[in-house]
Structure 1
Amino acid sequence: MSQDTTGSDEIRVEPVPGEPAATATAGGDRLLLVADYHAGYEAGLRYERGVDVPSRAPDRRERLLSLLERTDPDHLVVLGDLMHSIGDPGGAERGELEVLFESFPPTLSVTVVKGNHDGKIETWLVDDSEYGDGPADVTVVPGDGIAIDGIGVCHGHTWPAREVLESEVICLGHEHPCVRLEDEVGGSRVERVWLRGRADPAAFREHYDTNGEGPGVAGDGRPPSGLIVLPAFNDLVGGTWVNLPDQSFLAPFLPDGLSDGEAYLLDGTRLGPYDAI
């Protein structure tokens, strides 16, 4: 998938080789897309499960900053679950995000699509406070998403906004897609993957009551939108093992909404249809 693209000549979404992130070019701007950062995840493990795991906040921050330096985007788009706690963040979690944003270059614009874990993040992430030399332009948008120059971005825990569905490419997170791979001697490992296919209009018709129309089909003959599910940026969080028949998807429109879906490893290896791996 590292050499594959989804979109037209004007709109290109390309995974960053070896990383759970994608770049996109639309409207003259270069975007970096990431999903499911889950800041404060280790604190959540202690509180929710009694599991004591050292914080990997510095590692997460350095990985994202390295990606920003490597890809040099104008705009960072977080596809939901920037933080982990569903309610108001604790001190460590909020502190992690404040240090992260203070580290961003001042020329960077940031859009956070609100995920189901992001609580009331809009009440403090964009409260006119300055992040030192960090970005001055920080926006939080609802979880059903927005369209950015033909690229629809949403989190995935709820039905996408109609403008997202009418975009040429739809990008979402939430699912944390993974596959379990087995070797000849019975060993197994779990790998994060990308899911890529087309949005199936039939899966959205009843919900949107569109008189038989669906995403990417607005009466003008346009083909269905491309649909990309990003792997989780946080490598500690679990996910949906998409190649196991007894696994349920988290998004209300998956798997039915993904037509001809294929899975790709982070290094770009094409695994083929995700349900046949």
Structure 2
Amino acid sequence: MTDAYDDRALVLGDTLVVADLHVGRGTGGSLELPVGSSSDVVERFRSLVERHDPDEAVVAGDLLHSFQTVPRTVETTVAGLRSACREAGARLLVTPGNHDTMLDSVWDGPTEREYRVGDTVVCHGHEVPETDADRYVVGHDHPTIRIEGQRRPCYLVGTDQYRGAEVVMLPSFNRLNAGVEVNDMRADDFQSPLLTDADRLEPSVWDESGRETLSFPPLGEFRRML
């Protein structure tokens, strides 16, 4: 199975995985950016589906943002995600996250607590998984890394993290999420129970301008370089 990074997403062979879309964020409250975060999410998701032509797309949790209300724009955004997959002949599936308490109000498609793709299990990562796997792909913490004074969303890949398995943590797909800076974080600082050895987490950044992945040493080594 060939893996590829692209615009905060992970491509696992014929499966596209995105996490933490937080649809509805920016539509109310104190944010000054009602900003087309919804249209941005749909347009970028559509571009990913068109580029990679997956058989299926999986949302690794937190499709929604609000715990208690669903803004009117949310249904339109979810419909846009459905449409992008339908036009590409891909199936859209959701593994619910901790923010998805209102998921049933806008989503009646395939839902799995944990979804297996070969030897990999995709889930949100906010709770201990029930399924054994060689690798887990999760979201939840919204990782970013500071490099030369600039914070950038990053992927984190760690071997022997949970029950001997590798864990891949995706950045938040929604660009309104500021994320957490992982440079000095220890395992106990992460919300996901799947990350158990922060020093072994290797950050990677997707560089949109060069359309390439920039890989960095594990955090334990990276800290000493800064």
| TM-score band w.r.t. shorter chain | 0.7 to 0.9
Distance 1:257 1:123 in 2: 37
1:51 Cα deviation from its structure 2 partner? 3.4
Residue among 7, 12, 24 paired with 2:12: 24
Please give the residue correspondences for 1:94-243 in structure 2 after superposition, counting only pairs within 5 Å: 94-105=75-86, 107-126=89-108, 138-142=109-113, 145-161=114-130, 163=131, 166-182=132-148, 188-201=149-162, 215=163, 224-243=164-183
What is the aligned partner in structure 1 of residue 18 from structure 2? Answer: 34
1:92 Cα deviation from its structure 2 partner? 1.7
SS in 1 for 2:85: coil
Pair 1:151–1:245, CA change in 2 (3 A) = closer
SS in 2 for 1:140: coil
TM normalised by structure 2 equals: 0.85
Distance 1:83 1:58 in 2: 14
Distance 1:253 1:23 in 2: 21
| Residue ranges of structure 2 left out of the alignment (5+ in a row) | 208-212
Residue among 181, 191, 196 paired with 1:250: 191
What is the aligned partner in structure 2 of residue 15 from structure 1? Answer: 5
Indicate conservation of the 8 Å contact 2:167/2:194, yes or no: no
- Count, aligned residues: 215
| Residue ranges of structure 1 left out of the alignment (5+ in a row) | 1-10, 127-137, 183-187, 202-214, 216-223
1:240 Cα deviation from its structure 2 partner? 1.9
What is the aligned partner in structure 2 of residue 60 from structure 1? Answer: 41
1:123 Cα deviation from its structure 2 partner? 4.8
Name the amino acid aligned to 1:14: A
Distance 1:245 1:105 in 2: 40
Q: Give identity over the alignment, percent.
A: 27
- 1:220-267 Cα deviation digits (max 9, x unpaired): xxxx3221111111111021211024892121333x256721111113
Distance 1:200 1:99 in 2: 35
- 1:31-67 Cα deviation digits (max 9, x unpaired): 0011111111111xx32x3535323222221111011
Distance 1:50 1:36 in 2: 18
Name the amino acid aligned to 1:85: S
1:199 Cα deviation from its structure 2 partner? 3.2
1:156 Cα deviation from its structure 2 partner? 1.1
1:169 Cα deviation from its structure 2 partner? 1.9
Indicate conservation of the 8 Å contact 1:87/1:118, yes or no: no
Distance 1:197 1:245 in 2: 14
What is the aligned partner in structure 2 of residue 86 from structure 1? Answer: 67
Distance 2:67 2:197 in 1: 26
- 1:75-134 Cα deviation digits (max 9, x unpaired): 0011011111122412122222123323432521111010111113135411xxxxxxxx
Indicate conservation of the 8 Å contact 1:227/1:258, yes or no: no
TM normalised by structure 1 equals: 0.71
Indicate conservation of the 8 Å contact 1:200/1:259, yes or no: no
Pair 1:64–1:39, CA change in 2 (3 A) = same
1:159 Cα deviation from its structure 2 partner? 1.1
User: Which runs of structure 1 show a deviation greater than 6 angstroms over 4 or more consecutive aligned residues?
Assistant: none
Name the amino acid aligned to 1:150: D
1:139 Cα deviation from its structure 2 partner? 0.7
Larger Rg: 1
Root-mean-square deviation (Å): 2.2
